[in-house]
Chains A and B, each alone.
Chain A
Amino acid sequence: DVKVTQSSRYLVKRTGEKVFLECVQDMDHENMFWYRQDPGLGLRLIYFSYDVKMKEKGDIPEGYSVSREKKERFSLILESASTNQTSMYLCASSSTGWGDWGNTGELFFGEGSRLTVL
């Protein structure tokens, strides 16, 4: 089974702190994603990576950066945390969805990281 692991389920940070959220997948997927989920706003894409060292801005990249130095790991960085970044953060991964048979492009999520910024 595909496994997407997020390093922390719950974090509490202070305003202005630098925050790292880590995500690891074990299926050799090319694509990795970071979303945030807020009541009434649904899932919003922060950043997307389609290969090592490659990244693409999502819908709400402001205040965030990402790092993908290895294929299996995708990190979300809050350079200076603010209270409006209190949210549930969800990491996901998928294969490309084209090419080899069995490469379905199905998206798999981690358990989520609930971040509270005080």
Chain B
Amino acid sequence: KQEVTQIPAALSVPEGENLVLNCSFTDSAIYNLQWFRQDPGKGLTSLLLIQSSQREQTSGRLNASLDKSSGRSTLYIAASQPGDSATYLCAVRTSGSRLTFGEGTQLTVNP
């Protein structure tokens, strides 16, 4: 059974800092991996999708990498801003169409 772990559970950084969020998974036979952002009381917003054949994806200040062999993905946020404060979740699709989600990392960027 696929298990997804996100470390740390919470992170507080000053504005402007570059930061890395980590996601690890136990079954490397994944179809894709997706990073989401969730603001309090809202749904999840898709940030980046990495297919199993890809190593990384970039969108603006966000860069996500994927290392299937080690079962790891990282989400890099450059020049963090207070508006980046949210919970970030990763999810992997192993087979069929179901995803397995991590518990998320709660990020606070302080002005």
Contacts and interface: CB of A to CB of B under 8 A. Distances in A.
B41 A109 contact: no
A27 B89 CA distance: 23
Given A94-B97, A97-B31, A104 B49 contact: yes
Interface residues of B, number: 22
Nearest to A6: B43
A106 B34 contact: yes
Interface string A98-118: 000000111111111010000
Interface in B29-44: 31-32, 34, 36, 41-44
How would you classify the secondary structure of chain B's contact residues: helix, strand, loop or mixed? strand
A77 interface: no
A4 B45 CA distance: 11
28 contacts: A31-B97, A42-B101, A42-B102, A42-B103, A43-B89, A45-B98, A48-B97, A50-B97, A58-B98, A88-B41, A90-B43, A90-B44, A94-B97, A97-B32, A97-B97, A104-B32, A104-B51, A105-B97, A106-B49, A107-B34, A107-B46, A109-B43, A109-B44, A109-B46, A110-B43, A111-B42, A112-B41, A114-B41
Interface of B: 31-32, 34, 36, 41-46, 49, 51, 89, 91, 93, 97-99, 101-104
8 nearest A-B residue pairs (beta carbon): A109-B43, A109-B44, A112-B43, A43-B101, A111-B43, A106-B49, A31-B97, A42-B103
